[in-house]
């Protein structure tokens, strides 16, 4: 079983992120929302409709960016969009207009008549996003939308997604990139092994689980015995000792003065620290 007993609610107009290591069940959850993967029990509603009884109506209202590119290699960029539009029963003339608009929106106009295998990775991803928008969806489902892209392409996609949120679209996405989640998502869940570990706003989760700041020192016996002496909780990761705290000044001062440690660094914690704290550092695949 890929996911078990998960419970979440996405509000209209928000960006909702699913974070988790590989195999956490993110993609399965996406596929259940888009009425492709079946669920063994429980209830799942999209726009108030049941995924089991109204898949067609639901699919008419959503746009999907799958994890793996599945553009139609037998057709050109423009043909891909127009053909996809026919699957939604969009009339031909409207499809042509819409394809032109979307190619412009995703800055692909000059690639209009190019076969898919001549596009770069970033262009393919942009085209997939354009394709997901062909039916004017109310909900966008993005499964790792920017994995493998260069920073320019990622930022362009983020910018477009923010634009879509401004005009009232709802976005559900999965990602491995914590900065992507922090940049885009109003709320996130962290999943692992088919279960949801936490739900909340990114900054709120950072505060709650890592206390906003992290102080790092080199791992050695002196540091550890010193921390133990003052009973300060810490984590050991590789060659470092990490102390999550609300008061980095005090901890740093103490480490330098009381424990006589030479090298200490302090920084703000990020979602990545929350993620690693919750899901551990073991490789998943």
> Closest distance between other proteins and the C-beta of residue 156, in Å?
22
- Name the minimum Å distance from CB 142 to other proteins: 12
CA distances from 41 to 5, 52, 122, 197, 285 (A): 9, 11, 38, 20, 28
The residues that touch other proteins, with contacts defined as CB under 8 A, are: 34, 36-38, 55-56, 59-60, 64, 66, 68-75, 83-84, 86-89, 135
16 Cβ contact partners less than 8 Å away, ≥ 6 residues apart: 8, 10, 170, 171, 172, 173, 185, 186, 187, 188, 189
In whole angstroms, the minimum distance from the beta carbon of 117 to other proteins comes to 11
Q: Nearest to residue 147, comparing CAs of 187, 180, 183?
A: 180
Instruction: Give the three-class secondary structure for 273.
Output: helix
> Which residue stretches of 2-149 are H helix?
26-33, 55-61, 77-87, 92-105, 121-132
Beta carbons within 8 Å of 43's beta carbon, 6+ residues apart: 50
Which two structure tokens, joined as six digits, stand for 189?
A: 């869940």
Nearer to other proteins, 29 or 242 (CB): 29
CA distances from 110 to 29, 67, 76, 113 (A): 36, 25, 12, 8
Nearer to other proteins, 114 or 197 (CB): 114
Our CB check for other proteins shows the closer of 83 and 160 to be: 83
The CB-of-145 to other proteins minimum distance in angstroms stands at 14
Closer to other proteins by CB, 56 or 263: give it. 56
Here the tokens at position 80 are 């891909």
Minimum CB–partner distance for residue 62 and other proteins (Å)? 8
The DSSP line for 93-122 is HHHHHHHHHHHHHTT-GGGTT-BGGGS-HH
How far apart are alpha carbons 202 and 208 in whole angstroms? 10
Shortest Cβ 13–other proteins spacing (Å): 22
Of 143 and 180, which has the nearer Cβ to other proteins? 143
Closer residue to other proteins (CB): 50 or 272: 50
Q: How far is the CB of 246 from other proteins (least distance, A)?
A: 45
CA–CA distance, 211 with 205 (Å, rounded to integer): 9
């Amino acid at each position: 079983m890929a996911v078990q007993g998960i419970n979440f609610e996405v509000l209209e107009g928000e960006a909702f992120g699913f974070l988790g290591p590989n195999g956490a069940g993110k993609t399965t959850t996406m596929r259940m929302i888009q009425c492709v993967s079946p669920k063994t029990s429980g209830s799942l509603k999209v726009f108030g409709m049941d995924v089991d009884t109204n898949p067609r109506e639901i699919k008419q209202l959503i746009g999907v960016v799958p994890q793996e590119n599945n553009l139609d290699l037998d057709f050109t960029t423009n043909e891909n969009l127009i053909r996809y539009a026919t699957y939604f029963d969009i009339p031909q003339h409207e499809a042509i207009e819409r394809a032109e608009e979307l190619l412009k929106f995703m800055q692909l106009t000059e690639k209009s008549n190019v076969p898919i295998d001549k596009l770069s990775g970033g262009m393919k991803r942009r085209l997939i996003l354009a394709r997901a928008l062909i039916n004017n969806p109310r909900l966008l489902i993005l499964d790792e939308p920017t994995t493998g892209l260069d920073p320019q392409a990622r930022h362009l996609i983020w910018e477009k997604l923010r634009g879509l949120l401004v005009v009232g679209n709802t976005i559900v996405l999965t990602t491995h990139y914590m900065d992507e989640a922090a940049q885009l998502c109003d709320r996130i869940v962290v999943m692992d092994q088919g279960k949801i570990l936490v739900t909340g706003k990114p900054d709120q989760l950072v505060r709650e689980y890592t206390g906003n700041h992290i102080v790092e020192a080199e791992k050695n016996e002196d540091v550890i015995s010193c921390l133990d002496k003052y009973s300060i909780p810490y984590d050991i990761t590789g060659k470092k000792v990490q102390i999550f705290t609300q008061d980095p000044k005090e901890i740093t001062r103490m480490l330098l003065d009381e424990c006589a440690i030479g090298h200490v660094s302090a920084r703000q914690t990020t979602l990545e620290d929350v993620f690693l704290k919750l899901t551990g550092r073991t490789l998943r695949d």
